[in-house]
Each structure stands twice: as structure tokens, then as C-alpha cells.
Amino acid sequence: MPARILIVDDSPSVRRLLSLYLKGEDYELIEAVNGREAVRRCRKQRPDLVLSDIQMPEMDGYQLCRRLQQERQTRDIPVIFISARKDAADKVKGLELGAVDYITKPFDRGEVLARIRNQLKIRELTLALLEVNRDLRRKQKHLDEDLRAAGQIQKSLLPEGLPEIPELEFAWRFFPCEQVGGDVFNIHPLDENHVALFVLDVSGHGVPSAMVTVSVCQTLLPRTGSALKQPVADPPYYRIMSPSEVLSRLDGEYPFERFEKYFTMVYLVVNVRDGSVRYSRAGHPMPVVIRRRGGTELLEAGGPVIGVGGGLAFEEGRVTLAPGDRLFLFTDGITEYRHAKGETFGERRFFRELQHSRQSPLDAACQRVIRSMEVFGDGFRPQDDVTLLAMAYRGGDKR
């Protein structure tokens, strides 16, 4: 489609001369005799460029420029002034009003054509850029929506509300550092006496890591898979898998090559009758037990991260909780949290907070840790996903 150019001048001879100059070119020409008519034509015919005189009856070139600027549909039409005024001040005024160029009479055909060509080129590029920008914004919006949806799906993997197990109390905090994260945890009752807990942290974060968490969570569902409970021929017709068996199985199912990811994890099985806990950890920060009377114990037993498959065993450990004792599982998003000057929050600070709050309600103890991170970091902008899962043992006689 040829570019449409509007020529605005009250003098028929100037309009004729300009038309003559532009005739051999591939332009569609329209004309107006003053600013008022030019505004009307711009609204209706949307020229790609306006060539306008300055001094005209009814509405002059400056007013024309101002009017075009005021309306959204005409704002982007470039205006070139053609005038006998040679003063720099006049040119400056025109350019300030939004004109894109200025041609002084008497004009030369070559100059007029060159300036028109330049402005049309600029306009074409500008329109293309606007289109690309619109397209990018659209795509960005889609991505944002997808990420939000992914975040929702990931949240659905977390326990819904607090599980009702009379012997145990739970509380947690979970903050992915992006909309989706590489941390996940859950609590699964295995039978009336046993409850499984896990926290895992897939290397990296963002969408790829989040998708791995979804896959692992599926594998760890007690009802659909056999990773946590295995059917057997004799009553009670199932066997609860030991923590080291669960981790070994995951190590086999999630070799590093599969997703170019590894993960660290803690898995434990709590016997709610007697408070005994069997656990193993795969390269994960050690869970910590806070005794009711004040001791702090780290659960060390374990093996390497899941995915390297070096044939190393996942050693298993045991610990027994007395009523009032607490167990905290967490990811390194807490201990490795760094403030602006580079110091890390660290284990010592973290454990001290847990000790100080051991008489407070469990949820308040979790909140105290997050508060302390906020104060430490002067605001809370985690660089990594942050997960804290707390469990308190109430005793085996609660039914």
C-alpha cells in the first residue's frame, strides 16, 4: 500500500508544486487548505505523513500540530513544516510542538523527497517496534499467567491444612523465592501408628526444578505408589518401607541424567505410639530435635544426594521423642540466607531461635524464625526457596 501524504497549504500554487514533486513517487496524495480541514482529514483518512505550511487562515500550522497531538488517533502522525520563515526560533517552536522536521521555502525537490522518505522510514520502524512490543507484552502476560497457575499447582502438593493426628502437632512455613520453587514437603499417615514426613530440595529453582518436585511427590503418594508401603501376602498385607529403602528407590528412579537435577531430602517415619522416629537423609541439612527440657540434637545419619547413584548406602538413624519434644525439618534456604553484606543467617542463629521459643506454641516458633530472618536481612527477600516443617510430639496416649 502506498504511503498516504496530506499536503496542507492555503496557496493552490504551493499545493500544485508539491504534488508535482511527489507525483512520480509511489505516494497517495490528499490536500487541505488550512489546519481545520487538515485535522478533519487526519481523523478520517489517517495519512502516514503531513506536509504543512505554517501561516494559514482559520487554523495555522502550529495549532494543527497541537490538535493532532491532543487526539490519540492522530498523535502518531508525523508533521513536516514547510515555511518561508527562516528564523531558528520558528523552527524550534515547530519542533517543540511535535513537528518531526522543517523545510524552508524555496524548497528543492531532492530535499523534500529525502526528508519525506526519512520520516516515512522512521514511522514504519516505529510502528513495527510498537507491534513487537505489543506482542512481547502479550507473551509476557501468558508466561506470568502460566507461572501463577504452576505456583497454584505446586501449592496443591503441600498438605491441605494441618493433618489431624492426635499424637502429633504440625506447623510450617513455605516461601518459594520465585512463583514456583524447588522445595516441597508433605506429611502422609501410613497407618494408625505411623506417619511419614519428608522435605526435599531440588537443585536450582524455577520451573524445571518445580516440575521435578511434582514428579517426586507423585512417586511418594502412599495410596497410589509402592514407594512408602509395599503390598505383601500376609496380614496386615502391607509393609512400611524403611527410610533408607525409600531413599535408595528414589536414587534409582531419579538419576541425575534424567532431568540434569539432583535433590537433597530427609525422610522419616514416626511411630506415634512410642515417639520413636526412623530417619535417613540424602545430602540434606540435618533435622534438629529440640528437647522439651532444652537439649538440641542433630539427626546426622544418611547418605549422598539423590541422583548420583554411587552405590553408597543411605544410613538410617533412630531417635525417640518424649512428649513435648520438637522436630524441625528445613531446607538450606534458611541457613544459607544472606544479607546484603554477604553474611549468612547460619545454623547457630537458627537453632538459638528454636531454643528460645521452645515454650511458645509451635506455630509461633516457626514465625519467630521467619521474623529473625527478616530482622537479619533487613526485609525478607529469600535468595532460595525457604521451607520449615515443625512437628511436636504430644505423647502416645492421646486417643
* Burial environment of residue 93 by CB neighbours within 10 A (0 to 12, 13 to 18, 19 or more): middle
Does the protein bind another protein through residue 312 (CB under 8 A)? yes
Among 264, 357, 372, 387, interactor with another protein by CB under 8 A: 264
Alpha-carbon distance of 181 to 201, in angstroms, equals: 9
Rule CB under 8 A: which of 205-244 touch another protein? 205
Does the protein bind another protein through residue 298 (CB under 8 A)? no
How many CA atoms, within 13 angstroms, populate the side-chain half-sphere of residue 184? 28
Among 115, 261, 278, 326, interactor with another protein by CB under 8 A: 261
Alpha-carbon distance of 5 to 51, in angstroms, equals: 7
Among 31, 53, 183, 201, interactor with another protein by CB under 8 A: 201
Among 243, 307, 317, 382, interactor with another protein by CB under 8 A: 307
Q: Tell me if 6 sits within 8 A of 50, measured CB to CB.
A: yes
> What phi and psi, each to the nearest 5 degrees, are found at residue 63?
-65, -40
Among 310, 348, 397, 399, interactor with another protein by CB under 8 A: 310
- Which of residues 249 and 281 has its CB atom nearest to another protein in the complex? 281
Distance of closest approach, residue 355 Cβ to another protein, in angstroms: 21
Distance of closest approach, residue 332 Cβ to another protein, in angstroms: 8
Smallest Cα–Cα separation from 314: which of 267, 350, 359, 352?
A: 267
Smallest Cα–Cα separation from 257: which of 306, 200, 189?
A: 306
- Which of residues 135 and 260 has its CB atom nearest to another protein in the complex? 260
Choose the stretch contacting another protein; rule: CB under 8 A; options: 61-69, 88-96, 185-193, 261-269: 261-269
Q: Which of helix, strand or coil describes residue 77?
A: coil
Does the protein bind another protein through residue 21 (CB under 8 A)? no
Q: Tell me if 185 sits within 8 A of 196, measured CB to CB.
A: no
> Residue numbers of the site for another protein (CB under 8 A)?
201, 203-205, 256-257, 260-262, 264, 282-286, 302-305, 307-308, 310, 312, 332, 336, 384
